Structure 1
Amino acid sequence: MEKYKSVFDIIGPVMVGPSSSHTAGAARIGKIARQIFGEQPDQVDIYLYDSFAKTYQGHGTDIALVGGILGMEPDDERLSSSLKLAYEAGVEVCFVPKKEKASHPNTVKLRLKKGEHLLELIGESIGGGMIQVTEVNGFKIRFEIGVPTFLIIHQDVQGVIHCVSEILNNNDMNIGTMTVSRIAKGEQAIMVIEVDDKRGNLVLDKLRDIPNLHQVSFFY
């Protein structure tokens, strides 16, 4: 079995900043949070753990996270000005280094807010610019960038899962794995669906038309 999928697994990602884990990975975590949130937040609280907490300013983790939340890629030339750009856009940012240990040394919890709209996400930068998300709005999940994945936040009502599966089936998208969790019967729930191709963006509008879906995102 091949150890590396591409040359970028060996030399690392194209990026602005000194560290793939602390800069490129951080920017990707920020951008994932922005995609799930679906709009530019007014307020962002950033809780940093372990290595992130100790070196976030020196390694550019702060500018990378904020740049990602503003929608930037790791190689965006504007990344170094992200804090200034956030201020100019009216986005209030607060960094909170934490002393508690986390399951991974490069762990961050992002809390995005705009009015009543709130998102909490925990992400880990696992090396070489790669990341994984381990929690969304209190739901324990796990998905890595690189596998085509739908993340759907919805109300726990009968028929929602069937409607989602039917749309994917009608568009020839085979489901590899599906994980469904809920807070309680009838409360908020979440689906994480891995599919076999990268055409997920083609069905986002159809999925968003399903009643009782609060947020639909697609990543790969």
Structure 2
Amino acid sequence: MRRSERSLVTALREIRHHPKELTLAAYAAGNLDEARAVVVASHVSACGACRTAVRDFEAVGGACLLSIEPVAMNNSALDSFWARAGRQERASRPVSTRAANDFSLDASHPLAVYLKDGVDAIEWRAVAPGVAQRVIPAEGYRPGVLRLLKLAPGVRVPRHTHGDEELTLILRGSYVDEVGEFAEGDLADLDGDVWHGPVATGDKPCICLIATSAPLKFATLFGRVFQPFFGL
């Protein structure tokens, strides 16, 4: 694998959990909000099977476009679009060229513009004993919510489900929940039909990249009472 294809995840194990096909298709079509697109892109950069799937979806989309009869557009069509959507002029951000442990942050990585100083330089905010997070500002027409979550070994996230889709990519460490065992490179693609309470396993913190589009729904009174403080 070329360095440009390496992700934050060291490709030392077989990735066992992947995005759903519908999620990969939406990513290939550019239909995901920015937060979910960043998570999927980070997984795809480490997963050959998902890279192949994305290329296949892109090929299908291209073939469909070629089969459509061209239609003349009004001269003001683009201006009308921007008037409805609002112009998205993204300011340039410095990118990282730092390698932080097993996190390769060259300029080609999807997270490079967000973590310019490397993962080990993150200023974490403690939200509960053994739990810390860092919210990453997402931009674009549909930003979503993007965050990094760090769990100390043995710490459990209160059991919850999701108001909408949640994508969780394991960057370092591992956790286990009702769905299965997740380790570096694995991606959990969950929705409101799944209840789970991940617990960090192993002897090092579990660091996850998470994209959500709606607040979590906690099963316990503890989770519901402290949810505003967690910002989850």
Bigger radius of gyration, 1 or 2? 2
Tell me if TM exceeds 0.5: no
Greater relative contact order (CA < 8 Å, ≥ 6 in sequence):
2
TM-score category (smaller protein): under 0.3
TM-score, length-normalised on structure 1? Answer: 0.28
TM-score, L = length of structure 2: 0.27
Where is the strand percentage greater, Structure 1 or Structure 2?
A: 1
